[in-house]
């Protein structure tokens, strides 16, 4: 079991992004198409964080053209270049799945004063 932990520790990023639930973030993702690669930015609200350690993930939700889009990003993935904090949110829940049912201004998260 210690061998698995050492392998997991070696593949973890040194600086994992500090994202909290309710924050609006820009996730810079490396997209590889054939022999070319580019950076794609996905901006939205963090609605969930799951697991821990090497398998930690966070879910980002946004609404584009009236359709809700959610993407799950592994924190320690080499495809995630960086995570920018746009604004920090003030929430009282660990999972914001209730935002899926909300439309318009009701789907907004209040901004935290930090």
Query: Any idea where the domains of the chain sit in the sequence?
Result: 2-107
DSSP string of 43-102, one letter each residue: EEEEEEEE--GGG-EEEEEEEETTEEEEEEEETT-TTEEEEEEEE-B--S-S--GGGGG-
pLDDT band at 11 (very low <50, low <70, confident <90, very high): confident
* Spatial separation of the C-alpha atoms in residues 109 and 7, rounded to whole Å: 38
Instruction: Name the DSSP letter for residue 31.
Output: E
* Stated pTM of the model: 0.89
Percentage of the chain modeled with pLDDT above 70:
98
Mean pLDDT check: name the lowest of 12-16, 72-76, 93-97, 110-114: 12-16
Query: Could you report the per-residue pLDDT of 23-71, keeping only the tens digit for each?
Result: 999 999 999 999 999 999 999 999 999 998 888 999 999 999 999 999 9
CATH C-level class of 2-107: mainly beta
| CA dihedral sign, ordered 37, 58, 24, 109 | positive
Residue 88: burial class (beta carbons within 10 Å; 0-12, 13-18, 19+): middle
CB 89 within 8 A of CB 111: yes
């Amino acid at each position: 079991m210690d061998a698995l932990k050492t392998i997991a520790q070696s593949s973890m990023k040194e600086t994992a992004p500090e994202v909290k639930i309710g924050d609006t973030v820009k996730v810079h993702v490396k997209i590889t198409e054939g022999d070319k690669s580019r950076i794609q930015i996905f901006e939205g609200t963090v609605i969930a964080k799951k697991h821990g350690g090497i398998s930690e993930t966070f879910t980002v939700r946004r609404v584009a053209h009236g359709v809700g889009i959610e993407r799950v990003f592994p924190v320690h993935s080499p495809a995630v270049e960086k995570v920018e904090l746009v604004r920090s949110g003030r929430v009282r829940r660990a999972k914001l799945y209730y935002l899926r049912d909300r439309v318009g201004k009701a789907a907004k998260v209040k901004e935290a004063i930090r």
